[in-house]
Amino acid sequence: MSVVQSVLLSAWLLPENGKSHPEPPPASLDECKRERKRNILALLAEDNRADALLVQEAIELHELPIELHVVEDGEQAFRFIERADADPEAPAPDIVLLDLNLPKRHGKEVLQWVRASRRCRNTPVLIITSSDLSKERDELARLGANRYFRKPFSYDQFMKVGEVLKEILKDSKIH
């Protein structure tokens, strides 16, 4: 964990009054349907809370109209996509942000599931990972990843994920 991640995580867990924040409940799909406050629904599959907070910070910093739905493992991402396919009223992500090293199901499996999905097969996928192997990048591109963002160690560099998201939204004409 980087210094920035440690600071963000400790700030989240230990606010000024010394009491820890309660674990935020994951938004249910029904809540997600009812309370879409922004134009674009992004599904973030990320098991590291500090990294998820950094992605949210980058979205806010770049003033992107994105509602972020976070799942903490590959199985939850599978179920979100599966529900979107099974129920036309269920939310389907407009973009998927995907860590590779997820518990329960690897990010590559999730990417393949997204590409096999009836409703999400054309959804842009941004891989956000600490790995930077060219062989892996090539494989992910073959599997259908649109972009690849290597998690940096500095806060300023991590905030550039917002610029990448902005480019993907523009290129994909997602409004």
The predicted-structure confidence for 64-81, as pLDDT tens digits, reads as follows: 999 999 999 999 999 999
Q: How many percent of the chain have pLDDT more than 70?
A: 78
* The pLDDT of residue 134: 83
Instruction: Give a yes or no: residue 159 inside a domain.
Output: yes
User: Can you give the residue range of the structural domain that contains 163?
Assistant: 27-172
* The pLDDT of residue 8: 43
Instruction: Give a yes or no: residue 102 inside a domain.
Output: yes
What is the enclosing helix (H) or strand (E) of 150? strand 147-150
Instruction: Give a yes or no: residue 14 inside a domain.
Output: no
Q: Is the pLDDT of residue 11 over 60?
A: no
Q: Is the pLDDT of residue 114 over 80?
A: yes
Strands 66-71 and 40-45: parallel
Please state the rounded mean pLDDT for residues 92-114.
Answer: 94
SS3 128: strand
Please state the rounded mean pLDDT for residues 88-103.
Answer: 93
* The pLDDT of residue 20: 36
Instruction: Give a yes or no: residue 12 inside a domain.
Output: no
- Average pLDDT of the chain? 81
Instruction: Give a yes or no: residue 140 inside a domain.
Output: yes
Closest CA to 107 of 95, 94, 98, 96: 98
* The pLDDT of residue 24: 43
- Residue pLDDT, tens place only, 135-175: 888 888 899 999 999 999 999 999 999 999 999 998 887 75
* The pLDDT of residue 3: 38
Per the structure, the count of domains in the chain is 1
CATH number of domain containing 49:
3.40.50.2300
pTM summary value:
0.77
- Which tokens is 68 given? 């972020």
Instruction: Give a yes or no: residue 49 inside a domain.
Output: yes
Closest CA to 58 of 103, 97, 94: 97
Instruction: Give a yes or no: residue 75 inside a domain.
Output: yes
Q: How confident is the model at residue 132 (pLDDT cuts 50, 70, 90)?
A: confident
Instruction: Give a yes or no: residue 167 inside a domain.
Output: yes
- Residue pLDDT, tens place only, 37-58: 448 999 999 999 999 999 999 9
Please state the rounded mean pLDDT for residues 99-105.
Answer: 93
User: CA quadruple 62, 68, 71, 75: dihedral positive or negative?
Assistant: negative
SS (H, E, C) 33-44: HHCCCCCEEEEE
* The pLDDT of residue 38: 44
